[in-house]
Structure 1
Amino acid sequence: MTEPVASPWREDATSPVTVEPERDLMERVARGDTAAYSELFDRVSPRVFGMVRRVLRDPMQSEEVTQEVMIEVWRLASRYDSTRGSAISWIMTMAHRRAIDRVRAEQASVNRDLVVGTQAIDVDFDQVTDSVIGQLEAERVRRCLGSLTELQRESITLAYYGGHTYSEVAVLLEAKLPTVKARMRDGLVRLRDCLGTAGE
């Protein structure tokens, strides 16, 4: 089936979104109803865009991710189970994961560009040494991040790679601010200990 083309969205906090209409629309979308998809798109895409933009900050990337999420909604509508939660929660969870994935992809791209840039120029011995050490440090950080809990890892990634404040991280992860602060503090202590051990 050809994916329907939906109209552009606007970030509009006043757009009325209620649970029951989205559930009914999702059920119709799951059956291939393009009119229901257009209505669902108009209802939820402003909220998706707003949340994605809080994570990514960049408007153009946020538009791209929002479009990806809404296409995913069309493709995966049949997987939505109303007994496990509201349709809007299902969609926003999908959007949050997509946004986090984009943050991680951007960071990976930056790391690759740095490596390629380093390899593309003539460098002296000291610069080669610095590059190797830098790559080893990056690998150690990635390995140590993998030892953290999911909340610790996501909190630190959003704060240090995404540039978000504690309060913004709490909103994005739907967690209480004191919890986020405590998890980040514990996570940073574990990172410090892990990096200290890895460096011995």
Structure 2
Amino acid sequence: MGPDTPPETTSNTSREKLRADMVRLASGDRAALSDIYSATSAKLFGICFRILNDRREAEDALQDVYLGLWQRADRYDPARASPISWLATFARNRAIDRLRSSKRVRDALPEDAAMAVEDDAPLADSVAEDKQRDARIHQCLGKLEKRQQGAIRTAFFDGATYKELAETQGVPLGTMKSWVRRGLAALGKCLGSDNE
């Protein structure tokens, strides 16, 4: 998928992967639970935390969510809801159940408010997409010459200037700029080849 690929295409791919992981989990594939957790835990924790207003309670609720998911994955119906919507509802219900049984109700949101909780955490699809993109960037960086790789990593990840890089490496400023420019061109080519 290239720069002209609409974001919804990547989103659909991530959604389909999550849907496939749910099907795998329903058939007893334990590895699928780990994949689902990686893709959804940040969002589901956000939902639990907003309802319970307590980090430890939210962590316990999240644990309940994945334990319940392991036991009830076969109840997910892809024809009725997207996987993240179904999981979000599952997490919300777990958090509300925990809220009802908790004696800490005065600090938490009222149950009515839980229905309207807004969640500005990134969707699982976006998180998965970001992880794939980051992995691809690091893979392509690994293919560069060591000096280009080091210069680009230090410049873009550590915030070093061309002048600082040149001084550290003991090379003229023009040489350092050339290394980085050629490295970025090679990086762009590597990333572009994955999209063709």
Instruction: Tell me the TM-score normalised to structure 2 length.
Output: 0.48
Instruction: Tell me the TM-score normalised to structure 1 length.
Output: 0.47
Structure exhibiting the larger radius of gyration computed from Cα positions: 2
